[in-house]
Structure 1
Amino acid sequence: MYNIGFNQIVSYGDDGLSFLTSLTNNTRLQFLAIDDNHLEGVIPESIGNLSGVIKKLYMGGNHIYGHIPSSIGHLSSLTLLNVSYNLISGEIPPEIGQLKDLQMLGLAANKMSGHIPNSLGNLRMLNNIDLSGNYFVGNIPSSFPNFQKLLSMDLSNNLLNGSISREIFLSLPSLSTILNLSNNFLSGPLPEEIGLLGNVVTIDLSDNRFSGSIPSSIGKCSSLVGLFMVRNTLSGPLPNALGEMKGLEILDLSSNQLSGSIPDKLKDLRVLRYLNLSFNLLEGVIPNGGIFVKNISSVHLEGNPKLCLHVPCVESAASSHRRKVLVPVTIILGILAVCTMGGCLLYVRKSKARVAATSDLVVKGQHRMVTYEELRGATGNFNQENLIGSGSFGSVYKGCLREGIEVSLKVLDIRKTASLKSFLAECEALRSTRHRNLVKLITSCSSMDFKNMEFLALVYEYLSNGSLEDWIKGKRKNANGDGLNIVDRLNVAIDVACGLDYLHHDCEVAVAHCDLKPSNILLDRDMTAKIGDFGLAKLLIERTGNNDLSSTNVLKGSVGYMPPEYGFGQKPSTAGDAYSFGVVLLELFTGKSPTHENFTGDQNLIRWVQSAFPENIIQVLDSELLHLMQHLPNEGPINIIPEAERNCLISIMEVGISCTCASPDGRIGLRDALRKLETARQTLFKHTHV
């Protein structure tokens, strides 16, 4: 056994995983775990030379990139292969189909693409396959019905298309955990054979293009706890068979074209705790009983104007009752606007990170639903003691959900007209992004508060080490009283550059953050930096030669961090983000914000650093940084620091200066900035023992 998983081990460059080659000499190695570290590099071809008896290989949660080598097929005894949550690209090597004993295959949350190979159908022992969060295209392979022991299948958040063959359901009765096909381009009717999945707990077919009616055979899925078919084009009546699934806890069929009445049997589902039938074409009387009476706050029926509470459904009489179960017209219009914008976005690309954003809270594949009441309880009725920040569009609270999970809750101030726009921008920017250096959006809440006022909120992961601004200003320090040393600051800079590089280059539609500054950069318990607050983010849907946006809106960022061209009405761009990053980088190493009182007249942070670059660079460094480098004297001139550290600092400042060129065309991009910073870090590590 070789287990170094869940540590803070770091490696850099293409050869960062070369140590695996040395393990090929161990002919009895059966278990290898290097997951959840900070390992970077390409999987070496020599991986295929590992022990012939190795059974489990854990490599997930690192920074591994490049392709999976075909030699992986030589590891014939593997029962588990997990390389999820990395940066791996390329296609799935067909040779994986040679791993006849494989029981778990995890390739989730990478950058893999191409068709899913038919050879995977040879893995007849497989009981768990997770290919979610990639860019796979084409049909679900015709060989998948060969899986005779499959318990869980997650193909969500890809670009799969075509219809689902009846053979999939005919041959997979063993499924007992989850079938997740959400966030793809799958189309056509749902086969009647879906009813053969009598053991599965969760089915998620949301965000596809399924059409036709919901098969009545769905009622035979007697073990079903969660059923999600949101945002398709399903039509016809709700089958009465839905009322036969006695264990159903969550049912979400919203945003389809379902018609007819709500089956009265739904009120008899005793464990049903969340029901969303909103934005369909339903009509008639709402059932009186069960969840419709006991837990009305968990029932969502808005967007069905022909529904009413009592017989007869006369329009004049019903209007007064609808207010009790339907949101006001203004709210409906607001939500319709959200749906419209979401539809436009889906036309360009699919939302690829919805399920992943909730996976920390519930069983993977089940969408985490939160209500106003739950968020109110999580924050102690929005107690001021839990207020951790406020901005132009609302307030941020620390909260604790029922599961005991800490979250950050951003509550939008609906009195400000820009808050809804901010809400939409943040949802659009984050719904299709997933990266370790972006703050994770868990879910959102659009509801009514106890005063019957509109309530909008975004729920994020909670990052316990606060903002970068707090560390730069000395409001936060390490347990020993020290601030950030040179390695800490460089790691933060690289983390932020990684996040921006992902937004600019690795999203299907590039995203410009548009408001990067230290207060929007948060640090988790391991001091990993994550970019947050996408309230001004823009999707670069239509690119031109200079990366302009198709939007004609004038952007308003933050003073000092906003590039000069935005002040002249130019559209948001990746070059604008590069400028903001450069300012943040200079501030991080000088300790001076661009709005510092010392900068008056023509003097500013950028010119101040330029005036000292490179010969007198020490003169502009943060005194706290110099102190931690143990080169700050008690009196007299500042000592000369070691050449390796000085050269590293010069390289860092050069990146900051190159990013803040007045002309957008003269700035380096984030990918180049990232490479230069990573090179500086590697050079520093080679010459020091920091």
Structure 2
Amino acid sequence: MGPQPAAHPASNLTLPSSHTTAKPGETMHQERPPFCAIRTSKGNEGLVSPNRPARRAMILLLALLLISDGVGTAHCSTVSGNSTDMLSLLDFKRDITNDPRQALGSWNASIPHCEWKGVNCSLTHPGRVTVLNLTEQGLSGSISPSLGNLTFLETLDLSTNSFTGELPPLGRLHRLQQLLLSKNSLQGIIPATLTNCSNLSYLDLYGNFLTGEIPLSIGLLSNLLWLQLSENNITGTIPPSLKNISQLEAIDLADNQLMGSIPHEIGQFPSMMGLVLGGNMLSGRIPTTVLNQSYLQILDLSTNMIGSTLPSDFGDTPPSLTLLYLDYNMFEGYIPASLGNTSGLSVLDLSYNKLTGQVPSSLGRLGMLNNLNLQNNKLEAKDIQSWEFIDTLSNCRSLQVLALGKNQLKGAIPSSIGNLSSKLQGLGLDANDLSGTIPTNIGNLSGLTTLALRENKLHGSIEGWVRNLRNLTVLALDGNNFTGPIPTSISNLARLKKLYLANNEFEGPILKFLNYLHLFYNYIHGEIPRNGVFENVTPVSLDGNWELCGGAVDLRMPTCSAISQKKGRLYYLVRVLIPVVSFISLVLLIYFARLGAKTPRRASLLLLYSGNHFPRLSYRDIAQATQSFSESNLVGRGSYGSVYRGKLTQAKIQVAIKVFDLDVRYADKSFISECEVLRSIRHRNLVSILTACSTIDNDGNAFKALIYEFMPNGNLDTWLHTKSAGEGPRILSLGQRISIAINIADALAYLHHDITRSIVHCDLKPSNILLDTDMNAYLGDFGIANLVRNSKSTSVGHSSSASTSDGSIGLKGTIGYIAPEYAQTGQASTFWDVYSFGVVLLEMLIGKRPTDPMFDNELNIVNFVERNSPDQILHIIDDRLQEECKGFIRATAEAGNVVYQCLVSLVQVALSCTRLFPRERMNMRKVAMKLQAARTSYICWSKQARAS
């Protein structure tokens, strides 16, 4: 058993170093560094704090330090006088369905059970098992109830395996001190009988699929030191009965669906060192009792709905605080100047709140600070005094990340910026109201790997300082007024991989050793190279540079011989006019869309997106593009119209044209809804409108159409269910299906959580998921989407009327994909989309539509999979996947197990999305995270399997 609390004062606690870095865009796991560059819908580079797995890694280290004593003190015995324990272990073995590493190979009658791998026995009670430790063995199957007969068991560690099913009854294990079952796929509730294990000191169940509430009787575990229930689907509130566990040192309940306020009782633990409650739906205020904890080092309340102002004396208590995460909440008011008194603070994350006022200069007293994230608030700076905090932060010589983007900082960047720590790796001042030139001494920050200054009013040349930032991997300067040539010294930045210079006034030739290049709307001229980043046109954006020529064919640039001086001048003129025309078009969009029915003879072409400089289109142009709406060009039909493939003669590009059938009720409102939604959002996995057209046809009737980029691989429905002419069925690999699911999960997470007014798609189904040449997935058809009034409410299932502001547009969704609560409420909520996504994911895995004839009476796609999960997964998946999975199984047992576990994980995610009660469903952020983890595992082992 670990030491008692008195042996662990906060001053003796060793925390892991976070002074590591990773390349921007890399997937981070438990040891994620405190800063990374992430690419958002527009390729935005942002500065982020350590994600919750990284925070949890710090807490887990505490667990390892405390637990290690208990595991290490067990002794082995070769005496096997007691057969009860041996028989219980053999029962456990029989329920194992896969043992890729032969961890249980020694478990047979020819060897005393106390010598079996992972088994330790008592010296004083011969044959009685005290330790069962089979962590990280790749074991699959259920955990046998027979383990409840090992009444001398003190440590049970089955963590990081692939166990499924429910928690076994362990209430008779009164000697049990450590129950470690994390990182499996266990389901069901936490049984109240577990609290009979009165000697339990470490309870770790994180990273499973547990549901239900935390047992109210948990307060009976009076010896508990460590409670780890994070990354499950636990609902309900935090039970106040926790106050009875006076010795608690760490509580981690993050990434669940807990609601209500934080009970003040949770702050009454004299030895509390870590409290992690992030990623839930908690509300209210921070109890003052929490802030009075003498030993508290880690406080993570991020991604909740906790609000009000921060206490003015916040920094005076708790005195030992090291890591403070309050990001993604609803805090208002000023940042307390007293935070500067928390001398040991190394991470302060207050991003994504509603904080106002100035950044207190007292933060410069935090000598241990290495990560300061204040982005996405309403913080102000407009004069020398309010910019003083930059001067004082120069005292923080360990500072690695300073994120101040998306605030209300104005004026020139102070020259003292160059005095910040030489260890600074990430600096974000993007999306403010900064003006003037960049101080040349910013080049003193030679350790910078990411510099984000986009979307300001900065001007001048960048030549004087950029050459000194030799460690840069990401440089984001787009959306400013920079002028002059792109410095040739950029070519000497050997580590630079992503360069964003779009929407400036740069001129001159372009540099060739990049992975991403965004230069649209500048004055770049000359011939486009064909090597380096230009070998693949996907990560290159060059629109709006009128004197560029040559390059890869897919860039669709004119040949260099065709560019004349006269045309160059003309293009400069167009460069000035296009923003004006685009602005006017955006203003008139909804006006003409609504006016079209009343004034059918007034034609209008409304350009929403001018990236490819679309010409003005008439009804005749669209009719010509579709060969008079020929059936041969028909791609598909929907509730409110038809979609055609077309080629615009002037633009010389293939497009998809959605023509609305205005004779259908609510079709005109669907047109308006889709325009309203898509004009205000941008994400890499959302279909974007290129042009909207509201005019009249040849007979004088109203005509409405939307023009999109054409997706050559059609929609997901055809890949799952349609055979191509003269060919067999199309085949999607498991890897492709996972990637498609991640694309759509990312898109929904953006719609639900990352924009001011959350959007509920309301009609998620495979036919609305489109695929480009590289099989990237895009979510389309927003004709019945809903704008939710309060985005903060969506995470708890906030709903809005199933209608637009002009009235109802009829039935929402498609039979088979509609959430079951629709019949009761008739109201849209983000949990609708979550349910529909779960059904789509199941459909992708088993290859059956939810309306398949096999699903009748009480059987549906959800309970069909539930009944066959996990043991029969390989038998019910799509026939086209079965052969692929058999190939992995034949390659190596370990690879086969990983693929099997990957399938189980995908099914569990889908089932977690389709729970009957909306509040028990995952939110899309968590869904995306789970799917990313599954893909990482699959990619790793698929490569090894192919290599073997």
TM (norm. structure 1) is: 0.55
Give 1:74's aligned residue: none
Give 2:666's aligned residue: 418
Using the TM superposition, give the Cα deviation of residue 147 of structure 1 relative to its aligned residue in structure 2, in angstroms: 5.6
Give 2:651's aligned residue: 403
Equivalent position amino acid for 2:503 in 1 = D
Check 1:46–1:541 CA distance in 2 against 1; reply closer, same or farther (3 A cut).
closer
The match for 1:601 among 833, 841, 857 is 857
The answer to whether the 8 A contact 1:541-1:550 is kept is no
Per-residue CA deviation, residues 500-524 of structure 1 (Å, 9 max, x unaligned), is: 1111112222111100001111111
Give 1:188's aligned residue: none
The match for 2:433 among 115, 127, 133 is 115
The answer to whether the 8 A contact 1:631-1:640 is kept is no
Equivalent position amino acid for 1:568 in 2 = Q
Using the TM superposition, give the Cα deviation of residue 579 of structure 1 relative to its aligned residue in structure 2, in angstroms: 0.2
Alignment of 1:308-387 (within 5 A): 329-331=598-600, 357-359=609-611, 361-362=612-613, 368-387=615-634
The answer to whether the 8 A contact 2:603-2:694 is kept is no
Using the TM superposition, give the Cα deviation of residue 44 of structure 1 relative to its aligned residue in structure 2, in angstroms: 8.7
- 1:665 partnered with 2:916: no
Using the TM superposition, give the Cα deviation of residue 392 of structure 1 relative to its aligned residue in structure 2, in angstroms: 1.1
Per-residue CA deviation, residues 67-115 of structure 1 (Å, 9 max, x unaligned), is: 29999xxxxxxxxxxxxxxxx9946999999999xxxxxxxxx995333
Supply the distance in 1 between the matched residues of 2:915 and 2:656 (Cα, whole angstroms). Answer: 35
Using the TM superposition, give the Cα deviation of residue 588 of structure 1 relative to its aligned residue in structure 2, in angstroms: 0.2
The match for 2:769 among 491, 505, 521 is 521
Check 1:396–1:665 CA distance in 2 against 1; reply closer, same or farther (3 A cut).
same
Supply the distance in 1 between the matched residues of 2:941 and 2:524 (Cα, whole angstroms). Answer: 54
Give 2:294's aligned residue: none
- 1:453 partnered with 2:701: yes
Equivalent position amino acid for 2:626 in 1 = T
Give 2:815's aligned residue: 559
- 1:228 partnered with 2:580: yes
Using the TM superposition, give the Cα deviation of residue 64 of structure 1 relative to its aligned residue in structure 2, in angstroms: 7.5
The answer to whether the 8 A contact 1:547-1:574 is kept is yes
Check 1:548–1:503 CA distance in 2 against 1; reply closer, same or farther (3 A cut).
same
Per-residue CA deviation, residues 444-490 of structure 1 (Å, 9 max, x unaligned), is: 10011111111100001111111111111142599997611211111
The answer to whether the 8 A contact 1:395-1:411 is kept is yes
For the residue of structure 1 that corresponds to 2:736, the secondary structure is helix
Per-residue CA deviation, residues 50-78 of structure 1 (Å, 9 max, x unaligned), is: xxxxxxxxx9999775429999xxxxxxx
Give 1:154's aligned residue: 503
Per-residue CA deviation, residues 272-313 of structure 1 (Å, 9 max, x unaligned), is: xxxx9x98xxxxxxxxxxxxxxxxxxxx9x98xxxxxxxxxx
Using the TM superposition, give the Cα deviation of residue 332 of structure 1 relative to its aligned residue in structure 2, in angstroms: 8.1
Using the TM superposition, give the Cα deviation of residue 143 of structure 1 relative to its aligned residue in structure 2, in angstroms: 7.7
Check 1:178–1:334 CA distance in 2 against 1; reply closer, same or farther (3 A cut).
closer
Equivalent position amino acid for 1:113 in 2 = A
Using the TM superposition, give the Cα deviation of residue 583 of structure 1 relative to its aligned residue in structure 2, in angstroms: 0.1
Supply the distance in 2 between the matched residues of 1:498 and 1:667 (Cα, whole angstroms). Answer: 17
Alignment of 1:8-157 (within 5 A): 18=22, 66-67=46-47, 90=405, 113-116=431-434, 118-120=436-438, 136=455, 140=457, 149=484, 154=503
Give 1:433's aligned residue: 681
The answer to whether the 8 A contact 1:228-1:253 is kept is no
Supply the distance in 1 between the matched residues of 2:651 and 2:644 (Cα, whole angstroms). Answer: 17
Supply the distance in 2 between the matched residues of 1:672 and 1:253 (Cα, whole angstroms). Answer: 35
Using the TM superposition, give the Cα deviation of residue 542 of structure 1 relative to its aligned residue in structure 2, in angstroms: 3.5
- 1:569 partnered with 2:918: no
Give 2:283's aligned residue: none
The match for 2:732 among 471, 484, 487 is 484
Per-residue CA deviation, residues 123-152 of structure 1 (Å, 9 max, x unaligned), is: 9xxxxxxxxx99958xx4698999664899
Supply the distance in 2 between the matched residues of 1:15 and 1:583 (Cα, whole angstroms). Answer: 42
Using the TM superposition, give the Cα deviation of residue 153 of structure 1 relative to its aligned residue in structure 2, in angstroms: 7.8
- 1:493 partnered with 2:811: no
Equivalent position amino acid for 1:487 in 2 = G
Q: Which runs of 5+ in 2 are unaligned?
A: 1-17, 50-369, 372-402, 419-427, 442-451, 462-479, 487-500, 506-522, 526-542, 546-567
- 1:548 partnered with 2:799: yes
Supply the distance in 2 between the matched residues of 1:41 and 1:142 (Cα, whole angstroms). Answer: 35
Equivalent position amino acid for 1:561 in 2 = Y
The answer to whether the 8 A contact 1:444-1:459 is kept is yes
Supply the distance in 1 between the matched residues of 2:35 and 2:931 (Cα, whole angstroms). Answer: 30
- 1:686 partnered with 2:933: no
Give 1:677's aligned residue: 931
- 1:467 partnered with 2:709: no
Supply the distance in 2 between the matched residues of 1:389 and 1:615 (Cα, whole angstroms). Answer: 38
- 1:644 partnered with 2:898: yes
Check 1:230–1:418 CA distance in 2 against 1; reply closer, same or farther (3 A cut).
same
Give 1:129's aligned residue: none
**RMSD of aligned residue pairs (Cα, Å):** 5.2
The match for 2:784 among 536, 551, 566 is 536
Check 1:606–1:61 CA distance in 2 against 1; reply closer, same or farther (3 A cut).
closer
Structure 1 or 2, whichever has the larger Rg, is 2
Supply the distance in 2 between the matched residues of 1:420 and 1:46 (Cα, whole angstroms). Answer: 47
For the residue of structure 2 that corresponds to 1:408, the secondary structure is strand
Using the TM superposition, give the Cα deviation of residue 368 of structure 1 relative to its aligned residue in structure 2, in angstroms: 4.8
The match for 1:626 among 873, 878, 882 is 882
Supply the distance in 1 between the matched residues of 2:859 and 2:812 (Cα, whole angstroms). Answer: 23
Using the TM superposition, give the Cα deviation of residue 409 of structure 1 relative to its aligned residue in structure 2, in angstroms: 0.3
Equivalent position amino acid for 1:371 in 2 = S
Deviates more, 1:563-572 or 1:537-546: 537-546
For the residue of structure 1 that corresponds to 2:821, the secondary structure is helix
The answer to whether the 8 A contact 2:430-2:454 is kept is yes
Equivalent position amino acid for 1:451 in 2 = D
- 1:612 partnered with 2:868: yes
Check 1:201–1:417 CA distance in 2 against 1; reply closer, same or farther (3 A cut).
farther
TM (norm. structure 2) is: 0.41
Q: Which runs of 5+ in 1 are unaligned?
A: 1-13, 21-37, 49-58, 72-87, 101-109, 124-132, 157-173, 180-198, 204-220, 233-251, 256-275, 280-299, 304-326, 340-353, 634-638
The answer to whether the 8 A contact 2:749-2:925 is kept is yes
For the residue of structure 1 that corresponds to 2:698, the secondary structure is coil
Per-residue CA deviation, residues 245-292 of structure 1 (Å, 9 max, x unaligned), is: xxxxxxx7985xxxxxxxxxxxxxxxxxxxx9x98xxxxxxxxxxxxx
The answer to whether the 8 A contact 2:20-2:33 is kept is no
Deviates more, 1:431-440 or 1:546-555: 546-555
Give 2:339's aligned residue: none
Check 1:596–1:155 CA distance in 2 against 1; reply closer, same or farther (3 A cut).
farther
Check 1:603–1:135 CA distance in 2 against 1; reply closer, same or farther (3 A cut).
farther
Deviates more, 1:603-612 or 1:399-408: 399-408
Supply the distance in 2 between the matched residues of 1:565 and 1:46 (Cα, whole angstroms). Answer: 41
Give 2:908's aligned residue: 654
Check 1:686–1:507 CA distance in 2 against 1; reply closer, same or farther (3 A cut).
same
Check 1:480–1:592 CA distance in 2 against 1; reply closer, same or farther (3 A cut).
closer
Equivalent position amino acid for 2:919 in 1 = D
The answer to whether the 8 A contact 1:394-1:412 is kept is yes
The answer to whether the 8 A contact 2:601-2:695 is kept is no
For the residue of structure 1 that corresponds to 2:799, the secondary structure is coil
The answer to whether the 8 A contact 1:121-1:147 is kept is no
Using the TM superposition, give the Cα deviation of residue 546 of structure 1 relative to its aligned residue in structure 2, in angstroms: 2.7
Equivalent position amino acid for 2:744 in 1 = V
The match for 2:760 among 496, 512, 518 is 512
Using the TM superposition, give the Cα deviation of residue 407 of structure 1 relative to its aligned residue in structure 2, in angstroms: 0.5
For the residue of structure 2 that corresponds to 1:642, the secondary structure is helix
Using the TM superposition, give the Cα deviation of residue 334 of structure 1 relative to its aligned residue in structure 2, in angstroms: 12
